[in-house]
Amino acid sequence: MAMSAHEVVRFLRTHYGDRASEPGLLGNGEWSQAYAFALDGRALVIRVGAHPQDFAKDEVMSAVASPALPIPAILERGECAAGHFAVSERGYGVFLDDLDEQGMRAVLPALFAALDAVRTIDTSGTAGYGLWSPAGVAPYASWQEALLSVGDGPENPRTPGWRAALHSSATGSGPFNTAFAALKHMAREMPLGRHVIHSDLLNRNVLVDGPRVTAVLDWGNAMYGDALYDAAWFLYWWPWFPAWSRIDMGAEFMRHWRASSSVPHRWRDRLLCYQLHIGLEAQAYHAFKARWTELEYTARRTLELLHGRT
């Protein structure tokens, strides 16, 4: 499925002729590869992958970008020999993941402003909860159902066989089942608001330059549901980044909410509920990928959160 650099060169040559420069590999992602190139001297990125709806969602989101929420514009999408491609503007900066403590502290205000901008995107012309299609339709009638689909629903076609893999792993299904039982209990109490959620705001999807966020990439996993989910994402993954251990991210969120008079109602329960969901999704994903160390980590982290030992 993966497209070699050679094939990308050939595709750009046939598609754009002399207007395109030689591409250079930017990153080999989980779902696509990205190459930087120039078209008529303009810095762009071509991504090639199997899931055209991911690129289409990026396009939908670039239409609602703003200075606080920069999202590279998509210039062209289509099919090619290796699947689907999207050509977009190139974002510059360093990945959020790679920041040291000082760098992270410097960008926190812009990061919170980006999260606020995501939360205020108008969802009135869209429907449903959970992972949305480029047309703005998500499959679940309630947020609760969307959350519970991690353990109740049919297997996600992108992670086939994860249940069996988890079951036969050294970690086993026990930690998943315990956390899922708790999620079932908590999900009932979650609010019904429908906001855009990015749901993958790490993993080299956010570019920053000093105190500025310069690009928020990869909206393929975006959902409709409670905007606090994106805050829970940071809290869940924070300990994975030793460089940030002296930043109390929960306290930073609270400081931001207080300053903007927007402390979320019942934030403690909501953040815990979504962190359980994130931990369950992660276990399913790592089991599918046969990443046993990460599976063990996420299983343990999720139970620790559940038992209030973090």
Ligand X SMILES: Nc1ncnc2c1ncn2[C@@H]1O[C@H](COP(=O)(O)OP(=O)(O)OP(=O)(O)O)[C@@H](O)[C@H]1O
Of residues 271 and 278, the one with the C-beta less far from ligand X: 278
What does the angle CA 155 – CA 162 – CA 97 come to, to the nearest 5 degrees? Answer: 105
Residue in 11, 47, 84, 96 binding ligand X, rule: CB under 6 A: 47
The site partner of 173 among ligand X, Mg ion, none (C-beta below 5 to 8 Å per kind) is: none
| Shortest distance (Å) from residue 200 CB to Mg ion | 7
| Cα(81)–Cα(63) distance, integer angstroms | 28
Which 184-213 positions form the footprint of Mg ion (CB under 5 A)? 205
Under the binding rule (CB under 6 A), the answer on residue 59 touching ligand X is no
Residue 240 Cα distances to 35, 149, 244, 301, angstroms: 28, 25, 9, 10
Residue 298 found at the interface with Mg ion (CB under 5 A): no
Q: Decide: helix, strand or coil at residue 254.
A: helix
Non-local CB neighbours of 102 within 8 Å, separated by 6+ positions: none
Rg value, the chain, Cα: 20
> N- to C-terminal Cα distance for the chain?
41
Phi/psi at 216 (5° precision):
-115, 110
Q: Which of residues 66-105 bind ligand X (CB under 6 A)?
A: 72, 88, 90-91
Residues 198-227 that bind ligand X (CB under 6 A): 203-205, 215, 217-218
Q: Write down the least CB distance from residue 124 to ligand X, Å.
A: 28
- Choose from ligand X, Mg ion, none: what does 84 bind? Cβ within 5-8 Å by kind: none
Residues that bind ligand X (CB under 6 A): 26-27, 29-34, 45, 47, 72, 88, 90-91, 203-205, 215, 217-218
Positions touching Mg ion (CB under 5 A) are 205, 218
